[in-house]
Structure 1
Amino acid sequence: MKCSLRGSDHLPAFAMNGDFIIGGVFSIHYKELTETDNYTTVPEPPSCARGINSRELRFSRTMIFAIKEINNSTELLPGVKLGYQIYDSCASVPMAMHAAFQLSNRQDPAFQTGDNCSSSGMIVAVVGESGSTPSISISHIFGPFNIPLVSHFATCACLSDKDQHPTFFRTIPSDQFQADALAKLVKQFGWSWIGAIHSDSDYGNNGMASFLSVALREGICVEYIESFYRTDTTSKIRRVANAIRRSTAVVVVAFAAAGDMKFLLEELAQDPPPPRQWIGSESWITDPHLMSFSFCAGAIGVAIQQSVIPGLRDFLIDLSPSEVPVSSVLTEFWEDAFNCSFTKSTTIKGKLCDGTEDLKTLNNLYTETSKFRITNMVYKAVYAIAHAIHNALCQEKESTTRCDKHITLEPKQIFTELRKVNFSRNGYHVSFDDKGDPPAFYELVNWQNKKNGAIELITVGYYDASLPKGQEFLIYKNITWVEGSIQAPVSVCSESCRPGTRKVLHKGKPICCYDCIPCPEGEISNMTDAPDCIPCPREFWPNSVNTECFPKPEEFLSFDEILGIILAAFSVSGACMAIITAVVFFYHRTTPIVRANNSELSFLLLMSVTLCFLCSLTFIGAPSEWSCMLRHTAFGITFVLCISCVLGKTIVVLMAFKATLPGNNVMKWFGLPQQRLTVASFTFIQVIICIVWLVVSPPFPMKNLNTYKEKIILECALGSAVGFWAVLGYIGLLAVVCFVLAALARKLPDNFNEAKLITFSMLIFCAVWITFIPAYVSSPGKYTVAVEIFAILASSFGMMLCIFAPKCFIILFQPEKNTKKYLMNKN
């Protein structure tokens, strides 16, 4: 049995024999040449359309440089020569797969006779591809053969799946890290409203999916998501451009390949959009060709770290005209670069390449060697494979390294050793984790305008995924933003809600679009963009801007405020008036008007009125346990004492009239002992009521949180409402009885009938306390206490003015009426 190669072969772009062959796949041409099959003849082998990608050519030449450097090394693989076969995929998946099959089979049309086809024709490892989509395809081909594929530029996170791509490695970080870096970059500058565009490829689709996943967790909203590919129709690319032009989002995150961005920016350049802050992925943000679009000035993004590769620049530039014709790729590159031809049949504009051309005079991506980024990833990939081969072949003996190049190496051995490589080259570390990914480190780059108007790429910081959370970014240079501004632009759907307000989302819109509503009464928000307001504790109340809870002010009728001072002044004045009246009465105690009106009850009444005035002072000030019990019981007892005295005086008037009738001796039944007993008995009943009230459920101080929401009313709770109304009711009962008896006696034929005065005093007393009840119930807070004090003072003044004022007036100003003759005169 003989194994034969089926189909047409595809020659490598560059090749060199060696003891062990390393494969390479690069998109050296921009696209594949498309031809229509007529299905009558065998199709021609696939080929590339004319047009060299200078950057990819530099990558392939860097691989050649690294292999030559390794072959000249005395430390790495001494005595072993590495060869290479580098294929051009023409940025096409079918061509990349074709190259993968070629690398797996080599060029032998027939090999290994026997029962089974061996794998002796396979290369040991492959470097490539630049794109994620072709890398996915060729990884599926190499996987079953255990051929390691080390990519320098395929960043799709999907390639980290070891079940799908078991032999895939890369020297460039996964897009998962890049997506995380871009999302945190957007979050760091406070942009919550962005537009998103991406390549319609594995790179763009997976990268954008990873970015959106992180952005969602970071609270970033996306106004639009548009995808496109370089081969799309002009109308579709124009639709993407119009979405950017019409959007309200200032920031545009572009997760796209450089080739795709070229077509989109060309479309935008025809009608530049409003100022937009571009955020770029590493695939296009460092592409010098795209920096010619001036409306993208200020763009920032993540880029692979710059590096230094000694000798590479000289190797790339020192390409002599004699070497060029050997390679069809270099021939095409040379002819296009210098606009000449090596053969007369293909002479362009009649110019022949004469050997005087010098690459140093060119300015294209091949000769752009000032900043090695992805180029270094190619360099590291080659060295990683070389170290894996070295570890499989070589042994250290007596301080010397010996390598057996005659050992038959299987790709599986290289795959095993690649997982363990750990070395540094030119100061850059190379290793792989369990997923075949390297440590993630990016530079933060910024497109800044130079004085001549051109855009240059400036490194302004870095992102290191290995650092603790929140410390991954470091920005150490000033960033130039869109339109040359030194201030970061604002890109939000809605302005941030200040503390004291809360967010109310717009129905059907992203969470970043909302209105700011002030917190309801009694609630606060102490953070920006608070989703909800927090109720203050019951004894706290918000400040004027609803950002902080403060203890509610405690309100009570105090001696420090105007109302308290006025009431206290009237209380003391009334007490002084009663005392002065008592002094006047005592001084004139022998006069007829004092003696005729029961002087003992008068003095007792003046004492009780004085106590009534003074008990109102107990209602002023902060309530305490003792003041609450004292104020109500003192008020109840003193007023009953007062009314009892008035009632006694009224009964005396009635009895005195009855006693003047012939044969009536009623006064002997209501003399001084009976008057004293009457007053004591009525007062004792009130004392009993107060004692029962205090024992069963006494008044107590409390904080009233219900009357006012914004303040606390310190007041005395009644304890037992029945006790309180019993005290008031008993006072009212005595007052009514007193009023009725006084009214009956008001027209008695005495010249000085005290019953008239008592009637008026009781009328005032009853009127005051009847109006007191609704006023007391409806008055809020400290005014409840003020109403109660007013009722006490009004009724006390009423008795003083009605009962004692006329007598004092006669005593002091009309002494001629203060005679027995005048009082006894019936006329």
Structure 2
Amino acid sequence: MTDPSQLPYKHYQTGDLIIGAIVSQFNCLFDEISFSDHPRRKLVDDLIIMPKNYQHVLSMVFAMKEISENPEILPNVSLGFQIYDSYVNARMTQQNTLKLLSTSEKLVPNFKCEKQKKLISVIGGHDSEISLQMATHLGIYKIPQIAYCVLAPVMNVKTQLPSFYRMVPNEEQQYRGIALLLQHLQWTWVGVIASDNDNGEKFLQTLIPMLSQHNICITSSTKLPALSQVMKAESSDGTMEIINPLMARAISLITSKINVYVVNAEPQTTNCLKWLVYFSIVLEGISETSIGKVWVMTAQWDFSSLTVHRYLDIQLFHGALSFAIHSNKVLGFPKYLQNLYPHLQTGDDFLRIFWEKAFDCSFSDMNEDKESRDTCTGVEKLDSLAGIFFEMDMTGQSYSIYNAVHTIAYVLHKIYTSRPKRRAMMDKGKLASPNLQLFKLHLFLRSISFNNSAGDSVSFDENGELAAGFDIVNWVTFPNQSFSRVKVGWMDPQTLLDQELNINIEAITWHSIFKQVLPHALCNDNCLPGYRRQKKEEQPFCCYDCTPCPEGKFSEQKDMDDCFQCPEDKFPNKNKDQCLPKHLNFLSYSEPLGIALASLALSFSLLTALVLGIFVKNQNTPIIIANNRDLTYSLLVSLLLCFLCSLLFIGRPHAVTCYLRQTLFALAFSVAVSCVLAKTITVVLAFKATKPGTRLRKWVGKSLTKSILLGCSLIQASICTAWLCTAPPFPDLDMHSLPEEIIVECNESSVTMFYCVLGYLGFLAIVSLTVAFQARKLPDSFNEAKFITFSMLVFCSVWLSFVPSYLSTKGKYMVAVEIFSILSSCAGLLGCIYVPKCYTIILRPELNSRDQLIRKY
């Protein structure tokens, strides 16, 4: 065991101004202090190295080298540095922070001398706890501290730690990015793994509500301790009580049906996760290739490994996604690493132990067991190391340190160049004076903005955090312990709200078990378009049933909470996943039904005209004279108009056709029925007038028929005139009666007036039928009463069936019903009244004589 105060590891370089740093390359296991025993000095049980973190040291040294070689930044001023390790331990962190503040290696705070080093800033630490432990001391002296920890050490950083800055963006942006990423990939059923500490609790308290706001369910939440805590447990009596539950959690993780886990990827916890998963696989005999999970890591993840994990397979994390601190390639850094050899470095206590642990060898002058390890030559190549131990390109944390060093240099440059020119010439070389006031550093730090050598802009926001976003990295692993990090997107909160997240899904390499198909992370399958989600009782909101959209509604996307009505001029298709334009519905001359009805109307019109021609030609024959020639002509003309007015109902309705169709039809029909009524009354009165002593003789004549015809027609004309003057019909579009069609119709405007017109026609028809029925047996060879009776029976039957048929149909079929009723009722009148007469006139002319009339009479 080792005395922690004697841990020698540091890296230093002298200079006029000193930049301090606390890194985290080593992890020590310390014995617990018992206050019941006498204090001991030997407390360190073991020293574990995280080799990749040595790049943090090298990035700082390389940045200092760049600055010293650039005379335009700090002329006549040399920058030095002192780098200590935190050992991931509060006591060691505070001890080494005090060393930075002291005059010499002895811990003598608050003591100044003329030759004291001028500490102007400190970089670190690697995580929030270390950063806070440093800040408790640095804040007293107002020394600027630039951390590269992903999590802030306190909630309100700028208020509680005014001298604290972070070379990383605010973690709230990362959490929002995770929520947007899961939502974008439609992963709504995920597990969460967090650290079993305050950071993990803060992670859960912040992330889980944010995921809920984006409709993402947390199916399991697992807390894992730091690996150091597990390793301490191995030497205690309660080992199995601690290890067994952890192993059970790890087995549950890798065997569950959850495909996606969001991991709070603090290094200590992820190392514990890797260790537990590895031994769970060994114990359960599970094939690593059969374990397919998508790990969504926070920006602490760097795919680094402890040297004790040298042989742990990393294939389990193939295809993982992580948020990462934005980094870029720094020219010259790989070449600098290639020329790094232990025997050429001075002042660096980290390098030799890093070299031995990374290359698994030992130097000949080290007092260790040399039989079990190869001898280090000192010329091994860093680029031969596996990526989990070392990378030749800067990692996100190293890039942050590199930017932090340049930020301090540019601040000093701004202070120098902000002086008046004359004084600046006089004060050359005095920038390193002990009188350099730290408040000026803070003043310029808050407003600093520059482009680094990689072309990235570096500046702080109002909270003292880097004004930037996060990269999204896809990690592709290989069997030889190497890996490739592929940038597949970014999260940039400085862009428009709906463009914060940008990701290229096609560029992502998934775990081989998914066969390059986007993994699913759902409680149940997506609801397809045409369906809507219906929540399951007593289940999380991410679990639901899929129910078809009701009639008349649609859903065009997956997992819609509700179905929507199509616009008025559209209707849902059969699958109810999109809207189709509605067809116009009206009786057209171009469709078979319209052609048939138009042809029928024209045919009946021609037939009526033919009958009229026959009657005109034979107008002086007894059969025509006996049945009131004028009324006969009037009836034929009105029937002709009825047949022709039915054509107004065919074709797309317009203002003129809507205005005329019902009124012309009503007037023509009223004239026709009035003619029939006049004929019937004339026949009845004629026979009544022949009786001796009757007074009806004076009513028989043309004046009566004209009065009946004009009177009945004028009443209908008055009704139609009132209709047209008060609420005339107009063309209209009915969007709702038919689900897939728009009915182009003539809106009657006043239904009351429409039914008054029809009611009056019905009244005339019933009166005509009643009178004709009374006169059907009068002894006259040319008596029309029986034929009128039949015709009015047909007429009334047609129009009685018309009303329910008209009301039960929609669109063009409603119009077709009315046309058919017009044609059939008119055809009934034409056929029943005039066909017998035409038969007599054309085929039996011998019956069309006065003698036959008198004989029968």
Give the TM-score normalised by structure 1: 0.81
Give the alignment partner of residue 194 of structure 2, picking from 191, 198, 207: 198
Structure 2: how far apart are the matches of 1:626 and 1:15? Answer: 99
Q: Does 1:679 align with 2:709?
A: yes
Alpha-carbon shift at residue 539 of structure 1 (Å) = 4.7
How many residue pairs match? The answer is 811
Q: Indicate how the Cα distance of structure 1 residues 42 and 430 shifts in structure 2: closer, same or farther if over 3 A, else same.
A: farther
Matched residue SS, 1:163: helix
Superposed CA deviations along residues 185-218 of structure 1, whole A, max 9, x for unmatched, are: 5566565544332333465555666666776676
| 2:337 aligned partner | 313
Q: Does 1:772 align with 2:772?
A: no
Structure 1: how far apart are the matches of 2:139 and 2:648? Answer: 97
- Please show how residues 348-747 of structure 1 align to structure 2 within 5 Å: 348=369, 357-358=377-378, 360=380, 368=390, 370-373=392-395, 374-375=397-398, 377-378=400-401, 381=404, 401-403=428-430, 407=434, 432-433=459-460, 434-440=462-468, 445-449=473-477, 453-460=480-487, 463=490, 465=492, 468-469=495-496, 470=499, 478-483=507-512, 487=516, 489-493=518-522, 500-506=530-536, 513-526=543-556, 529-546=559-576, 549=579, 552-662=582-692, 666-667=696-697, 669-705=699-735, 707-747=737-777
| 2:132 aligned partner | 136
Superposed CA deviations along residues 110-147 of structure 1, whole A, max 9, x for unmatched, are: 979xxxx6566897243333222121122123212223
Alpha-carbon shift at residue 268 of structure 1 (Å) = 1.8
Contact 1:198–1:204 (8 Å) recurs in 2: yes
Alpha-carbon shift at residue 387 of structure 1 (Å) = 6.5
Structure 1: how far apart are the matches of 2:414 and 2:786? Answer: 129
Q: Indicate how the Cα distance of structure 1 residues 201 and 670 shifts in structure 2: closer, same or farther if over 3 A, else same.
A: same
| 2:285 aligned partner | none
| 1:760 aligned partner | 790
Per mean C-alpha deviation after superposition, the further-off stretch among 120-129 and 245-254 is 120-129
Alpha-carbon shift at residue 802 of structure 1 (Å) = 2.5
Q: Does 1:90 align with 2:87?
A: yes
Contact 1:502–1:525 (8 Å) recurs in 2: yes
Contact 2:4–2:44 (8 Å) recurs in 1: no
| 1:808 aligned partner | 838
Structure 2: how far apart are the matches of 1:696 and 1:392? Answer: 89
Contact 2:403–2:458 (8 Å) recurs in 1: no
Alpha-carbon shift at residue 167 of structure 1 (Å) = 1.9
Contact 1:146–1:411 (8 Å) recurs in 2: yes
Q: Does 1:277 align with 2:294?
A: yes
| 2:259 aligned partner | 250
Give the alignment partner of residue 818 of structure 1, picking from 848, 853, 857: 848
Structure 2: how far apart are the matches of 1:453 and 1:318? Answer: 26
Matched residue SS, 1:256: coil
Q: Does 1:785 align with 2:815?
A: yes
Per mean C-alpha deviation after superposition, the further-off stretch among 647-656 and 359-368 is 359-368
Structure 2: how far apart are the matches of 1:769 and 1:335? Answer: 105
Amino acid at match of 2:392: S
Alpha-carbon shift at residue 736 of structure 1 (Å) = 3.4
Alpha-carbon shift at residue 294 of structure 1 (Å) = 1.7
Contact 2:102–2:111 (8 Å) recurs in 1: no
| 2:96 aligned partner | 99
Q: Indicate how the Cα distance of structure 1 residues 118 and 552 shifts in structure 2: closer, same or farther if over 3 A, else same.
A: same
Alpha-carbon shift at residue 670 of structure 1 (Å) = 1.0
Matched residue SS, 1:770: helix
Q: Indicate how the Cα distance of structure 1 residues 35 and 679 shifts in structure 2: closer, same or farther if over 3 A, else same.
A: closer
Structure 2: how far apart are the matches of 1:551 and 1:610? Answer: 40
Q: Indicate how the Cα distance of structure 1 residues 206 and 688 shifts in structure 2: closer, same or farther if over 3 A, else same.
A: closer
Alpha-carbon shift at residue 34 of structure 1 (Å) = 0.6
Q: Does 1:44 align with 2:74?
A: no
Alpha-carbon shift at residue 72 of structure 1 (Å) = 9.4
Q: Indicate how the Cα distance of structure 1 residues 309 and 677 shifts in structure 2: closer, same or farther if over 3 A, else same.
A: closer
Give the TM-score normalised by structure 2: 0.79
| 1:241 aligned partner | 250
Specify every segment of 5 or more residues in structure 1 that has no aligned partner in the other structure, as ranges. Answer: 1-6
Amino acid at match of 1:338: C
Q: Indicate how the Cα distance of structure 1 residues 10 and 147 shifts in structure 2: closer, same or farther if over 3 A, else same.
A: farther
Q: Percent identity?
A: 30
Contact 2:411–2:441 (8 Å) recurs in 1: yes
Q: Indicate how the Cα distance of structure 1 residues 181 and 820 shifts in structure 2: closer, same or farther if over 3 A, else same.
A: closer
Per mean C-alpha deviation after superposition, the further-off stretch among 77-86 and 590-599 is 77-86
Q: Which protein shows a greater Rg?
A: 1
Structure 1: how far apart are the matches of 2:169 and 2:68? Answer: 28
Superposed CA deviations along residues 618-664 of structure 1, whole A, max 9, x for unmatched, are: 33333344434433333333333333333333334334434544566
Contact 1:172–1:437 (8 Å) recurs in 2: yes
Superposed CA deviations along residues 150-201 of structure 1, whole A, max 9, x for unmatched, are: 3355654748812222222344555455556655655665655443323334
Q: Does 1:165 align with 2:188?
A: no
Q: Indicate how the Cα distance of structure 1 residues 191 and 488 shifts in structure 2: closer, same or farther if over 3 A, else same.
A: farther
